[in-house]
């Protein structure tokens, strides 16, 4: 059940940009394992869980290259293919975190402009949006293969320009330091979530307004402060 909106004050942010994997979509563990398996498939040394999860949110090929420093560049195409192979095998195992739909519906009711800024590809995001019937909840999105990848601020700058929103009226929400650094680079406020890919201890130097530990926690904070 959605929270009562009447007790909350008018919005501070017109545009809210969400990261996808690890923030709205419960996919961190599967993506980490797919990265590990892809590296081994092309003859690299399996990255640790921490190393593989650290790159979540970056554009695919820079992420794989960072996670597999011993894999030569000529094997990068094969590395990308093997990652996609493993991910496709498990993509139906991934689901939204509990409470995400209620949160998005409440924010939409308050006339926030809801968008997605993700390290996924355009094809990958479109498939995910279609699979979970979320297409009508977001008015815009940017993916890593159509603009600069995180933590470069271009994703947010393009979304702000598209919807005519200034940085001080824009909020970025994500589970990685890449997300929060992108917000900082764009001059926007941010909120971190601790239930995704990165340990929240690394968030504080990037000055998020808040670090949420569950979707319900995030939901309540947004209705009170966003």
Write down the pTM of the prediction.
0.77
| 9 domain residue, yes or no | no
> Which among 48, 72, 93 is the end of a domain?
93
- Shared domain for 142 and 174, answered yes or no, is yes
Q: What is the 3-state secondary structure (H, E, C) of 186-205?
A: HCCEEEEECCCCCCHHHCHH
What is residue 218's predicted lDDT score, i.e. its pLDDT? 97
Q: How far is CA 211 from CA 64, 91, 116, in A?
A: 27, 27, 19
CATH number at residue 65: 1.10.150
What is residue 115's predicted lDDT score, i.e. its pLDDT? 97
Instruction: Give CA torsion, residues 113, 189, 156, 168, to 10 deg.
Output: 70
| 133 domain residue, yes or no | yes
Which stretches of 6-138 are DSSP H helices? Answer: 28-41, 49-54, 60-67, 76-90, 100-109, 122-131
Domain that holds residue 85: 28-93
**6 SS3 class:** coil
What is residue 91's predicted lDDT score, i.e. its pLDDT? 74
How far is Cα 29 from Cα 226, in angstroms, rounded to an integer? 29
Tens-digit pLDDT profile for the chain (226 aa)? 444 444 446 789 999 999 999 999 988 888 888 999 999 999 999 999 889 988 887 888 898 889 999 999 999 999 999 999 998 888 777 789 989 999 999 999 999 999 999 999 999 899 888 877 787 899 999 999 999 999 999 999 999 999 999 999 999 999 999 999 999 999 999 999 998 877 788 898 999 999 999 999 999 999 999 9
Largest Cα–Cα separation, the chain: 58
CATH number at residue 117: 3.40.50.1000
- Shared domain for 115 and 211, answered yes or no, is yes
What is residue 9's predicted lDDT score, i.e. its pLDDT? 60
What is residue 5's predicted lDDT score, i.e. its pLDDT? 45
Q: How far is CA 106 from CA 2, 4, 25, 146, in A?
A: 7, 9, 18, 29
| 168 domain residue, yes or no | yes
- Shared domain for 59 and 150, answered yes or no, is no
| 199 domain residue, yes or no | yes
How far is Cα 142 from Cα 206, in angstroms, rounded to an integer? 22
- Reported as type and span, the H/E element at residue 179 is helix 177-186
What is residue 50's predicted lDDT score, i.e. its pLDDT? 87
Domain count, the chain: 2
């Amino acid at each position: 059940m959605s929270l009562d909106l009447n007790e909350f004050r008018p919005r501070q942010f017109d545009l809210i940009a969400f990261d996808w994997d690890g923030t709205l979509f419960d996919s961190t563990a599967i993506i980490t394992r797919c990265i590990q398996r892809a590296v081994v498939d092309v003859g690299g040394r399996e990255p640790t869980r921490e190393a593989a999860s650290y790159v979540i949110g970056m554009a695919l090929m820079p992420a794989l290259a960072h996670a597999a420093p011993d894999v030569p560049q000529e094997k990068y195409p094969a590395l990308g293919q093997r990652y996609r192979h493993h991910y496709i095998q498990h993509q139906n195992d991934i689901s939204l975190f509990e409470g995400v739909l209620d949160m998005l519906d409440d924010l939409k009711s308050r006339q926030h402009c809801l968008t997605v800024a993700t390290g996924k590809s355009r094809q990958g995001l479109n498939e995910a949006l279609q699979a979970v019937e979320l297409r009508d909840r977001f008015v815009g999105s940017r993916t890593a293969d159509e603009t600069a990848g995180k933590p470069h601020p271009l994703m947010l700058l393009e979304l702000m320009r598209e919807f005519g929103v200034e940085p001080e009226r824009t909020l970025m929400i994500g589970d990685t330091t890449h997300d929060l650094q992108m917000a900082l680079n764009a001059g926007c406020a941010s909120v971190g979530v601790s239930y995704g890919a990165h340990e929240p201890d690394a968030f504080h130097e990037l000055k998020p307004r808040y670090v949420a530990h569950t979707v319900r926690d995030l939901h309540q904070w947004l209705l009170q402060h966003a």
